[in-house]
Amino acid sequence: MACACCVADEQLETITVFSEVKEAGRKEPEDTFLAPKAEELPRPRPAEEVKPFMEEEVPVEPKEEPEAKCPGQYTLKIKKEGRLYCSMETLIAEYCVVRRVDAESPLETVKPMDRLVSINGKRQEAASMVKTLAESTGMLELVFERPVIKEITLAKRGKKAGFRVDTALDTCGLMIKGVQDGAAAEMPAGTFQAADRIIAVDGVEGRTADLLKLLGAADAPVLKVCTYAQIPLK
């Protein structure tokens, strides 16, 4: 029982309650959940073969060396800041021949008996080139020639050797000036040429006087001979 004696008329709230009346014998429908119709999904494509990415190799062209004017020449570029620690023979104007190269020299690829041909493209007499080389500093382009070295057995058979040699040279071999009557003249043509150098006799190297003695004493000496190209000074 509710009492509304203390509530003003305008504050009264009417609440209506409806009661659900079920009809006798009526069956309530059960909740039905319909599964959505399955849609056929597209079949996945077979995976394509993935090729590993490889950068295309660009062929590297070999570095072209300066063209040699004659066989046996090679170019050496150095930065000269002090001494070269080497020795050269300059008695013959056309032949600036290396006698010695020390371990600390920047001319590490140069060998004894190699010939200096030009400095920075300029060819001079041997003595002048050595002076230029001594006075120069900075970058230098040096052209050398490595001689062809061959061993020749000279069968004397009791004859003299038959060489005319330059006796002014004390080192860097016996320089042949020509061939006269003797064993050398009987060798095939072109075996010995002017300006060839005999640098060893029977495997022994030495000064000019020593080589002459060995050459005269042996009956069939084995000569180590080096040949340079004929390059004019101008």
Cβ(196)–Cβ(115) below 8 Å: no
218's tokens: 């042996």
CATH (residue range 148-227): 2.30.42.10
> pLDDT tens digits, residue range 168-213?
888 889 999 999 889 999 999 999 999 999 999 999 999 999 999 9
CATH (residue range 73-145): 2.30.42.10
Q: Kind and range of the H or E element at 28? A: none
91 forms bridges with which residues in the sheet? none
- Positions of CATH 2.30.42.10 in the chain: 73-145, 148-227
211's tokens: 């080589």
Q: Which residue has the higher pLDDT, 209 or 70?
A: 209
Distance CA 184, CA 192 (A): 8
**Residue 226: pLDDT over 70:** yes
Cβ(93)–Cβ(233) below 8 Å: yes
Full-model pTM:
0.67
Give the model's pLDDT for residue 181.
85
